[in-house]
Amino acid sequence: MKAALAVGAVVMAAVTVFGVTAVTTVVREDAEQDQARRANLSCNASLGPVTSGPAGSGAADAANLTEDQRGIVAQIIQIGKERNLPPRAWQVAIQAGMTESGLRPLDYGDRDSLGIFQMRPSMGWGTPEQVIDPTYAINKFYDVLEEVPNWEQQRPGESAQDVERSAFPDRYHEWEPMAAHLIGNVGLVADPTGCGQGTGALLPPPTEAAGEAMRFALAQQGKPYQWGALTTHQNSFDCSSLMLQAYREAGITLPRVSRQQYQAGAMLPVEQAQPGDLLFWAYDTSNPVNTIHHVAMYLGDGKMVEAQQTGVPVHIREVSWDESGLVAQAVRPGV
């Protein structure tokens, strides 16, 4: 971890970690408070699945955790609840802890980094004895997280990076599905995204959020395409950053890349797409999850808005339901 103030000397410390019994205790303590907290969450469609999924999903990764690792998860959730922090904060801490230490209170690390979050005593995170103690480290992580501007509006991995200040900022996203699964499985939060359980084939009409997202996307017409464009400014866009920022403006947080955005809402036949729905193109339409390469926003009346490619500014164009590479499912974010 690269961050803040001062103190030194590595010291070994004995650490007591919660076990299975404590996990059971944590998740049953305050269901009513959790329900009230969830009622106030804004929709965050990027948190990922809460239940079992295909191989490599959050459930599969969580199943590989040891009892001690799950104990650290329980402690992260318990302290988050005690501090009245929303599940999104737990998500950030779990992803950071898994990335930095494998959710273990390590007594070693890069330079003088120690503990779950690899906090450096020489950079002011506390004494060696403190940062190696899970209770101290988790509370300290939450202290810093709460000072991050707009952390609740960001994808969890981005907030983890704001706390950790790693030289490898994208690595925190790897554990997003697993952390979301643990929020549901250990924290007993049935709907950590705040987006509801979804409505399957009974899709609602386009939402107010879709209208706000469309207004944002249309206002970006004429701005240049830039692959890997930053999501913190509106000077340029790639296809998925335009969708992310448009729906962020509407209060819905999408994943960064198009293949992940394909799984961030309710699906419907592409021919039934409504204004605000996302359309996707894949190299192999029979395997969209692994081959999607482009996303655009449907506007209705056979038209869409997109950031298409280098040299082509954000623009509106017509779309045909039988054009090459168009995926058979559209996605309605936040549903």
Number of structural domains the chain divides into: 2
Q: Give tens-digit pLDDT for 292-317.
A: 999 999 998 889 999 999 989 999 99
Q: Which pair of tokens denotes residue 18?
A: 């919660």
Q: Give tens-digit pLDDT for 51-102.
A: 434 444 577 888 899 999 999 999 999 999 999 998 889 999 999 999 999 9
Residue 190 belongs to some domain of the structure: no
**Do 140 and 243 fall within a single domain?**
no
- 3-class SS at 26? helix
| Pairing mode of beta strands 292-300, 303-306 | antiparallel
Residue 8 belongs to some domain of the structure: no
| Mutual angle of helices 87-101 and 67-82, in 10-degree steps | 140
User: Contact 93/163 with Cβ under 8 angstroms?
Assistant: no
Residue 198 belongs to some domain of the structure: no
**Do 158 and 224 fall within a single domain?**
no
User: Contact 242/279 with Cβ under 8 angstroms?
Assistant: no
User: Contact 95/175 with Cβ under 8 angstroms?
Assistant: yes
The pLDDT of residue 11: 30
Q: Give tens-digit pLDDT for 95-139.
A: 999 999 999 999 887 888 899 999 999 888 999 999 999 999 999
The pLDDT of residue 199: 41
Say what the pTM is: 0.51
Residue 238 belongs to some domain of the structure: yes
Residue 149 makes CB contacts below 8 A (sequence gap 6+) with none
**Do 277 and 144 fall within a single domain?**
no
The predicted model gives 44-57 an average pLDDT of 47
Measured CA to CA, the distance from residue 101 to residue 68 in angstroms comes to 13
**Do 248 and 114 fall within a single domain?**
no
Of 276, 267, 279, nearest to 299 (Cα)?
276
Residue 146 belongs to some domain of the structure: yes
Q: Give tens-digit pLDDT for 272-283.
A: 999 999 999 999
**Domain CATH for 238:** 3.90.1720.10
Measured CA to CA, the distance from residue 300 to residue 303 in angstroms comes to 6
**Do 216 and 149 fall within a single domain?**
no
**Do 34 and 88 fall within a single domain?**
yes
Residue 15 belongs to some domain of the structure: no
pLDDT band of residue 228 (cuts 50, 70, 90) is: very high
**Do 177 and 300 fall within a single domain?**
no
**Do 214 and 160 fall within a single domain?**
no
The predicted model gives 191-212 an average pLDDT of 61
**Do 246 and 166 fall within a single domain?**
no
| Pairing mode of beta strands 303-306, 265-269 | unpaired
Cβ burial of 308 (10 Å; 0-12, 13-18, 19+) is: middle
**Do 26 and 110 fall within a single domain?**
yes
Q: Which residue has the tokens 């922090």?
A: 85
**Do 140 and 259 fall within a single domain?**
no
pLDDT of 25 strictly over 90: no
- 3-class SS at 268? strand
pLDDT band of residue 187 (cuts 50, 70, 90) is: confident
324 has which bridge partners? none
Of 224, 212, 230, 236, nearest to 297 (Cα)?
212
User: Contact 225/313 with Cβ under 8 angstroms?
Assistant: yes
Residue 62 belongs to some domain of the structure: yes
User: Contact 47/197 with Cβ under 8 angstroms?
Assistant: no
The predicted model gives 187-203 an average pLDDT of 55
- 3-class SS at 143? helix
- DSSP secondary structure, 184-236, as one string: HHTS--S-TTSS-S--TTSPPPPPHHHHHHHHHHHHTTTPPB-TT--SS-SS-
Measured CA distances, 144 to 72, 89, 120, 139, 316 (Å):
19, 11, 14, 9, 42
| Mutual angle of helices 239-249 and 208-219, in 10-degree steps | 130
**Do 69 and 179 fall within a single domain?**
yes
Residue 4 belongs to some domain of the structure: no
Residue 144: give the domain boundaries: 20-185
